Structure 1
Amino acid sequence: MDVHEYSNGEVTILWKPKLCQHATNCVQLLPRVYNPKARPWIKPENATSDELRAQVAQCPSGVLSITE
C-alpha cells in the first residue's frame, strides 16, 4: 500500500492517499498544515506535535496515523 510520510522532527504523519476521503476535515482543522494546492500538501512543521496528534485522532477514515 502506498504510504507517504511527513515529519516535524518529533512525530511523523503517515498518510494513505488511495484511501483518503475526508481531506476537507484536515484542511478545516489545521489549514496551516494541510494545503491541497501546495506540494508537499502536508507540512507538519507548521503545528505542534500535540496539535498534530489531536488532529490525526479525528481522522474519520483512519488514513492518517502518527509514529513517534
Structure 2
Amino acid sequence: MKEKVYYGKEIEVMFNSDVCIHSGICVKGLPGVFDLSKRPWVSPDADTAEAIAQHIDTCPSGALTYRLLDDNFSTKKEDEHA
C-alpha cells in the first residue's frame, strides 16, 4: 500500500495511490487544497478542516481519508466500515 500523509494544523489527510481511480473529484472540488501542479499536491491548511473533511467524504474510491486532530481518529469512511 502506498499511503502518504499530509499534515495540517487541524486535519491530517491520507492518500492511498493504490486505491485511487483518478476521478478528479478532489482537484475539481477543492483546487486550493488539492493541486496536482504543486508539491506537495495536498495542502491541508488551505481551507477549513471541516470543508476538507466533507469534500474527502465524496471521494468515490476511498483513496482519500482524514483524521481530525481535535477528534479521535474519526472519518466517515472508517465509520462506515466499522
Give your verdict on TM over 0.5.
yes
What amino acid does structure 1 have at the position aligned with 2:16? Answer: K
| CA deviation after TM superposition for structure 1 residue 43, in Å | 0.7
Moved over 2 A (4+): none
C-alpha displacement of 1:23: 5.0
Give the whole-Å Cα distance in 2 for the aligned partners of 1:15 and 1:21: 12
- Deviation of the 1:15 alpha carbon: 0.5
Q: CA-to-partner distance for each residue in 1:15-47, whole Å, 9 max, x for gaps?
A: 001221135111111000111111111111101
Higher relative contact order (CA 8 A, sep 6+): 1
Gaps of 5+ in 1: none
1:4 corresponds to which residue? Answer: 4
Larger radius of gyration, structure 1 or 2? Answer: 2
- Percent identity between matched residues is 29
Query: Could you list the runs of 5+ residues in structure 2 that have no partner in the other structure?
Result: 69-82
* Aligned-residue CA RMSD (Å): 1.2
Q: How many residues align?
A: 68
* SS across alignment from 2:10: coil
> What corresponds to 2:45 in structure 1?
45
Q: Report the counterpart of residue 18 of structure 2 in structure 1.
A: 18
For normalisation by structure 1, the TM-score amounts to 0.90
Q: What is the TM-score with the length of structure 2 in the denominator? A: 0.76
Taking the aligned partners of 2:51 and 2:24, their CA distance within structure 1 comes to: 17
